[in-house]
Chains A and B, each alone.
Chain A
Amino acid sequence: GAGVSQSPSNKVTEKGKDVELRCDPISGHTALYWYRQSLGQGLEFLIYFQGNSAPDKSGLPSDRFSAERTGGSVSTLTIQRTQQEDSAVYLCASSWRGGSNYGYTFGSGTRLTVV
């Protein structure tokens, strides 16, 4: 696609429910990143995919968070048993290849609110 597409754009969920966030990267981009941004805070790295594999999961805050990527394209970030502290904007970015010499293109994000 022309840009990085994320869905849903907004999600309100009850505490304890599971949520799935989707990211569709720019066609041909092999590297995909998930970040989250809490109100007034910087970008917190969550996980990085190169193709379908995740060389770096170091940023996932707890075992309630998981992510997968299939076909070297779409990725889903799943949060189980959501907590109020999970409320944030979840941003996906892609790059035409891995390696930090290449800037990212971000999607418009999913605003998650846990009530």
Chain B
Amino acid sequence: QKEVEQNSGPLSVPEGAIASLNCTYSDRGSQSFFWYRQYSGKSPELIMSIYSNGDKEDGRFTAQLNKASQYVSLLIRDSQPSDSATYLCADTGGGADGLTFGKGTHLIIQP
């Protein structure tokens, strides 16, 4: 059973600080990784994708991938209260071409 693991949290971070969200995956063959943000009562929205080892930056968000350690992370700089949400990590370990999602980390940005 291919798995994606995340700490459920809640992770509490003061406004303006860096929020660091982590994810590990079990399938060494996974090639593509995604971070989704899900506000309470809403559907997930894609915020970052990463395919290569190293860092990928997009605005205040940086995704980091280390395939040797089977580890993906998401950094959010200058955290804002509007960043408070559940962050879902997903990889290509799902059935056929489906994504496998972690259970998500609940992030709280404290004003």
Chain A: residues with CB nearer than 8 A to chain B?
31, 33, 35, 41-43, 45, 48, 50, 55-56, 58-59, 91, 98-101, 103-109
Contact = CB atoms under 8 A, between A and B. Distances in A.
Given A33-B98, A48-B97, A100-B94, A41 B46 contact: no
Contacts of B32: 100-101
B98 A100 contact: yes
Interface string B81-104: 000000010011011111111111
Q: Which of A43, A101, A107 has most chain B Cβ within 10 Å? A: A43
Contacts of A91: 43-44
Contact of A98 (B46, B91, B97, B100): B97
Contacts of A103: 34, 46, 49
Contacts, number: 63
B45 A106 contact: yes
A42 B102 CA distance: 6
Given A42-B102, A42-B103, A100 B43 contact: no
A45 B97 contact: no
A108 B42 contact: yes
Interface in B10-67: 31-32, 34, 42-46, 49, 51
B96 A48 contact: yes
A56 B42 contact: no
7 contacts: A35-B101, A42-B101, A45-B100, A100-B32, A101-B31, A106-B43, A106-B45
Nearest to B44: A106
Interface string B65-89: 0000000000000000000000010
B46 A45 contact: no
A100 B92 contact: yes
